[in-house]
Amino acid sequence: MVAGGGVSVLSGAGLSTESGIPDYRGPTGRARKAEPMTYQRFVGSARARQRYWARSHVGWRQIGSARPNDGHRAVAELERLGLIAGIVTQNVDGLHQAAGARRVIELHGGLDRVVCLSCRERTPRTELERRLGAANADWDASGRINPDGDAVLDDEQVEGFRVVDCESCGGLLKPDVIFFGENVPRPRVDECFALVAGARALLVLGSSLTVRSGLRFVDKAAALGIPIAIVNQGPTRGDADAALTLDAPLGPTLTELTTLLQHPSPASA
């Protein structure tokens, strides 16, 4: 399926677990009970923002230092070989780009950027981390990392953490990601649909497709008669529409696929 080229990729959290970032529903996520921040709580409560930024500040130590794994590198290599037309990722970790992939649509945004909710200025997360570190020089905490990139902290740990606002206008700062209760911008969704609709095949990597946000692209491909292949650890909501499903670890599987396509044997050709 991939050998013919023109493949669009839909990737999820399962692709990044080998980089040390937990997923939601796969093997690393089932033991965790993460409670994602909602947009309404974030904008409506100073206490919620304090809790979010304290947890995210700690979590960024791991997320910000994460490196692409073999799966990310294999996807980037398949794109370099001209077999992948583009990637829609549900992940916010930026690891596709760090691995060298070029056409990446971040469906849910990226944690490496911060946006002001008043003036809409976007700034690097590294700059915010510098400011948060300076404002909380005497504060320190640690906790288990959640899939959203924050850490599990108790109320006592959060107490005393200082939040900083936009340097340009004093507005509220938010990570440039889509929170629950917030809509993905329509132009971004349309771009994703166009990529999927124009592809010869759709390859789903590391997503259970539990959330409608990703499943809709599988539904689109199925409606158009575009072949679908899914590689994931565990079942997915898209399995019934897939021509091929494979329950396997992403890194070794994609590395083997890339090697095979770079050096095809007579039998596979």
Is 26 annotated for ligand binding? yes
Residue 28 annotated as binding site:
yes
Asked if residue 237 belongs to a known ligand binding site, the reply is no
Say if residue 206 carries a ligand binding annotation. yes
14 marked among binding-site residues: yes
Measure the CA–CA gap between 232 and 229, rounded to whole angstroms: 10
30 carries a ligand binding annotation: yes
Residue with tokens 């990597």: 205
Determine the Cα–Cα distance for residues 128 and 190; give it in Å rounded to an integer.
31
Tokens 């500040």 correspond to 57
**Is 57 among the residues known to form the active site?**
no
208 is in an annotated binding site: yes
Q: Is 143 annotated as a binding residue?
A: no
Is 137 annotated to bind a ligand? Reply is: no
Question: 């939040």: which residue's tokens?
Answer: 163
The annotation status of 204 as a binding-site residue, yes or no, is: no
Instruction: Name the active-site residue from 72, 96, 108, 263.
Output: 108
Residues recognised as catalytic: 108
The annotated binding site for NAD(+) is made up of: 12-32, 90-93, 206-208, 232-234, 250
* Residue ranges at the known binding site for Zn(2+): 116, 119, 166, 169
Binding residues: 12-32, 90-93, 116, 119, 166, 169, 206-208, 232-234, 250
